[in-house]
Structure 1
Amino acid sequence: MSLEYKIETDLFEGPLDLLLHLINKLEIDIYELPVSEVTRQYMTFIHTMQELELNIASEYLVMAATLLQIKSSMLLPNPEIEEYVYDDGEDPKEALIERLIEYRKYKEVAENLHDRQVEANETYTRPPLKLAVAHKKVDMNNKGSIYDMLKAMQKVFDRKKWTQPMTRTIEKMDVPIKERMDQVLHALDKAPDGVDFESLFPYPSKSHMVVTFMAMLELMKEKQIYCVQKETFDRLILYRWREVDE
């Protein structure tokens, strides 16, 4: 039986953002969208979100249905027909690519405006800050995203199931999210060189794993922690936000 709760979060920017993340991670040309692979990866994220009991916005499910429809139409064997004609005269794959291109333009403009705002803010001086813990400078170009954390979370689920089956009965969340947030911060404060993402999931209890993950999301939202992935699909390392990183 699954846990009877749903968790709301506004850290996800929408299905187009997830698709763009997959395209960048797979290092593929957006114009040559490999629907089969992208659909497989997208559905993996959806299943992970469902396993975490996240309240998935309907737009994610609509996109999943669209991808599956496109994938199915491309797999249909019909050598006598060179080009499939759709009822509305529009190729859904081409329409999706156009939406992704427009979204990418919008995202690039938004990021550019954000960078300008950061530069403007940095023109003001402020008194020196005392840093409780010194640590090496981290390459922020490799800063991970919420989707990287979801991918890492799926690996945690898979490995915990392999080593020790998780309880299938309804479990009580013994640790409140706020308390788990404090525990994560405490662990990161003691590790200036970062903490491996998977090491923060010591128990094969689904309720504890979900609470831990949601605690991480809240800390990311509050800009108290961030994650870094040195190489594509590499393990995630969590760090404590400090003024020196900015």
Structure 2
Amino acid sequence: MNQAYEVKLDAFEGPLDLLLHLINRYEIDIYDIPVAQITRQYMEYIHTMQRMELNIASEYLVMASTLVAIKSQMLLPKQEIDIEDSEEYMEDPREELMKRLIEYRKYKEAAETLKEKEMEANQLFTRAPVSFENLTFDKVPVVQGDISIYDMLEALGKMFERKKWNTPHDTTVQRMDIPIEKRMQDILHKVKDSKGGIEFDQLFPYPSRTHVVVTFMALLELMKAKEIYCKQTKHFDTLYLYCMEE
């Protein structure tokens, strides 16, 4: 019997983080959220995770239900309201979601500011005065990129569509054990051999759920270890992977 391959990822920060990512990516006005569009984009991410049989936290599914409910309310015909009945006026169904997103964005920005201050503090130290007049420095910029896990997940979903991998599967029931450490080494070698960067899709040659999931996790681990980084010229373009410059 072919047992489902399930993996839990802790890299996702929550449904509000995903919604905020979509708002920033599609340049949406947080005070006037197009519910139909945001729901469609949100569900695409959920479907991609389900295709890989990732263990999706229940809060993501709750948010999906909330978005569908708000979308349904927005489709209802608007009733004319008399001034006398103004106290019974129902607020915009998006109001609560908007408030939650604004509050979440405020705390997220504060957390990022504190993180930057922590990094700056870690670079400060004291020592006795030293002369550096005779020293030369060869500064090599290290680019880490600003690609998030949601960008990678979106690229994965687009790859499924291009390669028609609506449900990655094996034609026969067979066991395919791929140690994540081994997959990390393979990816690192491929990226190093590609001087101009390697396209994201090229790391997924097999329509096997095990291979896709392990490759995706290996990429996250390599990025976390600052071995590789992803780069995208502009929104919705192809993702390319590069080695971190030493």
2:163 is aligned to 160
Deviation for aligned residue 1:207: 2.6
Deviation for aligned residue 1:193: 3.6
Aligned positions, number? 227
In 1, are the aligned partners of 2:228 and 2:242 still within 8 Å (CA)?
A: yes
Distance 1:82 1:151 in 2: 43
Distance 1:22 1:168 in 2: 35
2:226 is aligned to 223
1:122 is aligned to 123
1:9 is aligned to 9
Map residues 180-195 of structure 1 onto 2, 5 A cutoff: 180-195=183-198
Distance 1:82 1:57 in 2: 40
What amino acid is the match of 2:30?
I
Check if 1:206 corresponds to 2:209: yes
Deviation for aligned residue 1:52: 1.2
What amino acid is the match of 1:58?
S
Aligned with 2:55: secondary structure? coil
What amino acid is the match of 2:16?
L
Cα deviation 1:58-95 (Å, max 9, x = unaligned): 1100000000000011112x244569x9x9x6654100
Q: Rate the CA distance shift 1:202–1:120 in 2: closer, same or farther, 3 A.
A: same
1:147 is aligned to 150
Map residues 28-177 of structure 1 onto 2, 5 A cutoff: 28-76=28-76, 78-81=77-80, 91-124=92-125, 137=141, 140=144, 143-161=146-164, 167=170, 170-177=173-180
Deviation for aligned residue 1:171: 4.6
**Greater C-alpha Rg:** 2
2:26 is aligned to 26
RMSD: 2.9
Structure 2: which 5+ runs fail to align? 127-139
Cα deviation 1:135-178 (Å, max 9, x = unaligned): x85765x521000000000111112227xx85465552342222
Distance 1:106 1:168 in 2: 47
What amino acid is the match of 1:103?
Y
Structure 1 residues 214-223 or 38-47, which shifts more? 214-223
In 1, are the aligned partners of 2:159 and 2:201 still within 8 Å (CA)?
A: yes
Distance 1:160 1:119 in 2: 44
In 2, are the aligned partners of 1:160 and 1:166 still within 8 Å (CA)?
A: no
Distance 2:173 2:35 in 1: 37
Check if 1:240 corresponds to 2:243: yes
Distance 1:124 1:228 in 2: 33
What amino acid is the match of 2:36?
S
Aligned with 2:230: secondary structure? strand
Structure 1: which 5+ runs fail to align? 126-135
Structure 2 length-normalised TM: 0.81
Structure 1 length-normalised TM: 0.81
Structure 1 residues 14-23 or 208-217, which shifts more? 208-217
| Identical amino acids, percent of aligned pairs | 58
